[in-house]
Amino acid sequence: MGGGPLDAEGDGRGVSDDRPGDRTDTRLVTGGRRAEWTQGIVNPAVWRASTILYDSVAEMRARHHDTHEKLYYGRRGTPTQWSLADALTGLEPGAEGTLLYPSGVAAVTTALLAVLKPGDELLMVDSAYEPTRAFCGNILKRNGIRTTFYDPLAGAAIADMIGPDTRAIFMESPGSLTFEVQDVPAIVAAAKARGCVTLIDNTWATPLYLPVMAMGVDLSILACTKYVVGHSDVMMGSVTASAALWPALRAATHALGQCVSPDDAYLAARGLRTMSVRLARHQESALKVARWLEAQPEVARVLHPALPSCPGHALWQRDFSGASGLFSFILDGGDDAARTALIDGLRLFGIGFSWGGFESLAIPSDPASIRTATRWQAEGPLVRLHIGLEDADDLIADLAEGLARFRAVRG
Ligand SMILES: *Cc1c(COP(=O)(O)O)cnc(C)c1O
């Protein structure tokens, strides 16, 4: 390797990203752009690799003992992946490091496997993303790990559920279908008092609106597929760890062979640079649409954490610095056919899974069948919206026609 480009000393052309005092928007721009990774180019290049060649057997053996952010083998990444991971770590004050995964689900499952062993109990929020729930019921169960689901609004009362085998508490705040906001500080305090690990799926708020590591959470999970990538064209997940959990996370990630392609890491890093400006627009437009929906007679309730009608709204006000573009609303009466008439005819909202891209999306969801610890009761069917970067008034006009179709079928 001697003399290769990665041996270049920082020459001042890269951007220093080691100023903890910089504000978040600055860190989004400077993060991960170390001189030895960029070589003076604004965006770190796509470094493709499986085999890495060493000068000698001795060098090959020496490298084995210290592989972090060093070329070792393609599965451990290249500067392209390290740069993205480093930029994500920089958004979470108090974090030790970040690892990347081929999807958000892979990030969730690897984080859980990093902290749980047979005989352990996991406390899982009842409003969790459905594939997260499913993993508890199949792979974890088969490996002797018991899951107990808890009310998303439990708060400090979670302490009463912590038993001798409870090892970890998993949060998702707000829930990505029903939007209950959790009391993260209270749950972290209860967990710490009993030596439990805390994990959170922070995909909705991102570290920009809820820096969870600073709140004492041990593992922060993002489906980067959503707002980090931001353009609906890459699958990616990340887990950011505290110093205490970093060795366990690395060990599980390496043992499971988790890695991402440099091309995908490049695209995700490119998306990350504009995440703050995109989120600001998603927030503004989503609030405008949510407030409009709230005033429509066909709408029973709007589940948006920034609106008082959302369970946990006071916690959102206390802990979050913003809201993203995803929320739900409950129709006033009507059945699935009436809801389908609303959604099928929408001109600007796509019908599809995922969210966080520049485009608006609408899906039907029926949370009642998913829950076990709490009962889902609503006045009518639920519609989940992702508000994209279109003009909010055009989206409102589209929804107004949708509500008219709903009314026509509901009667
Ligand atoms: C989409 C999503 C995931 C999973 O991410 P994928 O990249 O689609 O695997 C996890 N959690 C939440 C809250 C999500 O919305």
Q: What's the pLDDT tens digit per position in 140-155? A: 999 999 999 999 999 9
150 alpha carbon – ligand 1 mean position (Å):
20
Name the band, by pLDDT with cuts 50, 70 and 90, for residue 15.
Answer: low
Rounded to the nearest whole angstrom, what is the distance from the C-alpha of residue 104 to the centroid of ligand 1? Answer: 5
Q: Is the pLDDT of residue 361 over 70?
A: yes
Ligand 1 atom with the shortest distance to the CA of 106: 9
Ligand 1 atom having least distance to the Cα of 226 = 1
User: From the CA of 401, how far away is ligand 1's center (Å)?
Assistant: 30
pLDDT of residue 66: 81
Q: What percent of the chain has pLDDT over 70?
A: 95
Catalytic residues, by residue number, are 75, 129, 201, 226
| Mean pLDDT taken over the chain | 94
Mutate to test the pocket of ligand 1, among 181, 226, 353 (most ligand atoms within 8 A of CB): 226
Backbone CA torsion sign across 141, 158, 166, 170: positive
Taking the CA of residue 108 as reference, the ligand 1 atom at the shortest distance is 10
Residue 169, φ and ψ in degrees, nearest 5:
-125, 125
Adjacent-strand bridge partners of 252: none
Strand 237-241 relative to strand 219-223, pairing: antiparallel
Ligand 1 centroid to 226 CA: how many Å? 7
Residue 8 confidence (pLDDT): 38
Summarize the confidence of residues 57-79 as an average pLDDT. Answer: 91
Is residue 9 over pLDDT 70? Answer: no
Residues paired with residue 100 on neighbouring β-strands, in sequence order: 238
The yes-or-no verdict on residue 156 having pLDDT over 80 is: yes
Residue 4 predicted with pLDDT over 50: no
- pLDDT category, 56, cuts 50, 70, 90? very high
User: pLDDT for 290-311, tens place per residue?
Assistant: 999 999 999 999 999 999 999 9
- pLDDT-derived band at 14 (thresholds 50, 70, 90) equals low
Enumerate the β-bridge partners of residue 172.
201
Please check the confidence at residue 7 and state whether its pLDDT lies above 60.
Answer: no
